[in-house]
Structure 1
Amino acid sequence: MDVVVTSRTMAVEEALRRHVYRAAEHCPLALAGFGGVGQAAGVPWDRLVGPLARLTGADVLADCGRYLSADGVRPLIEASDVVVLVTGSSLRAARSSARLVPVLCETLELDLGDPGLSLLVVGPGRPYASAEIAAGCGVPLLGELPDDHSAAVVWSDGAQPGRTFHRSALQRGARRIADLLAGTAADRAVTGSVR
């Protein structure tokens, strides 16, 4: 919300630079999320997506939370090079993902199976396998990440990384996912399908 207010008196790019922060020395730059449910609906996303796309030297990763078409982030999702649906492997998580995929495909004007929408499974095998969930949803499986709380709190809470953090299963998996995302975005740019 601070970026929205600040951008009333200066360019959005400058407002972004003023409000990003590094939670801890080992963390990437981040922009704080919203303080309450429903605040995203009041953001003029259509005015912000262009400047976000034009940022140089940075990749923008937006956590849109539980997507509802009424929550206002549709312009942000529509402007994304790649959309990744992150899910767990429980029955509840898999069913929710399967219900959301058609909504996202319609929003993004994608056919099922288009790599512009893919699935990332956290904590696979509890009880469903990642490939099984992706097949049920009808979208490509980007990959999976372990449910590794001790490594995850380094990113979510700014905890200090231990000696083995960089070799943790979560970090190794995250590097693979980042490489795949960079390749998918580059492929879509070459074929002209990036929105």
Structure 2
Amino acid sequence: MLLVDADPVGGSAILAGYFGGTVPHPGTLVELWSAHRQSALETAVREMPLRLSETASLIPGPAGATQAGGLTDLWPALAVQVRGLSQLGVDVLIDLGRLGHTHLAAPLVRGCDQVLLVLRSDLPSVAAASAADLPDEIPVRLVVVGPGRPYSSSSVASVVKHPVAFELPWAPEEAEVLSHGKPEPKRGRGLTRGLRQAAEQLHATALRELTHV
């Protein structure tokens, strides 16, 4: 799997959060942009990602909105490259950041097989999602974090007008292990189980869609 951090806000939850800034990396999307300008994007996408494990690599995102604003001409070319990786059997997961950001990498959205909108079940989250301008050409599904706080997933889906792909439990202490590198809590593995099940479901869905192409 290749993880692409395309969140224009910056501040990697993986490098700065989970790894606490202790892991050096060979480059970010800014370096990919530079490689693209030199007609070397394909090589950079293959060689630059930071190896996280035997099966997962990461391309870190820009430092912030200022850098993200200069990456406009990278997105269409990168969409072609990640599509090629997908056809070779590499699962590519892209974090596009929050809805409505000025520097959202829209060409990457249009190149996705699946678009997941992650939101809480509270009124501010549901209201923002229901007012969002989401792509019509790609089916969007919801990931509801903390269903029943206070609205059920079915209620959220009826308002946002998109089906629910899966739910994740409300588990802030577990979440901080991944986002801030905190020690694992003594109790509770619900989020870990939920994420594993979600990954298996996403992979199975991608295989089914690939088979139908």
- The answer to whether TM tops 0.5 is yes
Matched, 1:21 2:42: no
Task: Find 1:50's aligned residue among 64, 80, 94.
Answer: 80
Query: Compared with structure 1, are the counterparts of its residues 10 and 151 closer, same or farther at alpha carbon in structure 2 (3 Å cutoff)?
Result: farther
| The 10-residue stretch of structure 1 (177-186 or 59-68) with the greater mean CA deviation from structure 2 | 177-186
TM-score by length of 2: 0.72
Q: More displaced, 178-187 or 128-137?
A: 178-187
Distance 2:40 2:184 in 1: 36
- Identical counterparts, % of pairs: 32
Decide whether aligned partners of structure 1 residues 48 and 187 sit closer, same or farther in structure 2, where only a CA change above 3 A counts: same
Aligned match for 1:35, one of 59, 63, 78: 63
Distance 1:94 1:131, change over 3 A: same
Q: Helix, strand or coil: the match of 2:142?
A: strand
Once residues 42 and 5 of structure 1 are traced to their aligned partners in structure 2, the CA distance between those partners, rounded to angstroms, is 11
Q: State the TM-score, normalizing by the size of structure 1.
A: 0.78
Distance of 2:59 and 2:175 partners within structure 1: 18
Cα distance in structure 1, aligned partners of 2:179 and 2:90: 20
Counterpart secondary structure, 1:175: helix
* Count of aligned positions: 180
What are structure 1's unaligned runs of at least 5 residues?
Answer: 111-115
**Aligned twin of 2:105:** 73
User: Using the alignment, how far apart are the partners of 1:108 and 1:51 within structure 2?
Assistant: 23
Per the alignment, do residues 135 and 26 of structure 1 end up closer, same or farther by CA in structure 2, a change over 3 Å counting? farther
1:113 maps to: none
Structure 2: where are the runs of 5+ without partners?
1-29
Displacement of 1:12 after TM fit?
A: 2.1
**Greater relative contact order structure (CA < 8 Å, 6+ sep):** 2
1:70-128 deviation digits (Å, cap 9, x = unpaired): 4241110000000000001110001111112xx21xx3425xxxxx3100011222111
SS in 1 for 2:148: coil
Distance 1:108 1:40 in 2: 25
Partner SS state of residue 127, structure 1: coil
Is 2:187 aligned against 1:157? no
- The one-letter amino acid paired with 2:162 is V
Distance 1:14 1:161, change over 3 A: farther
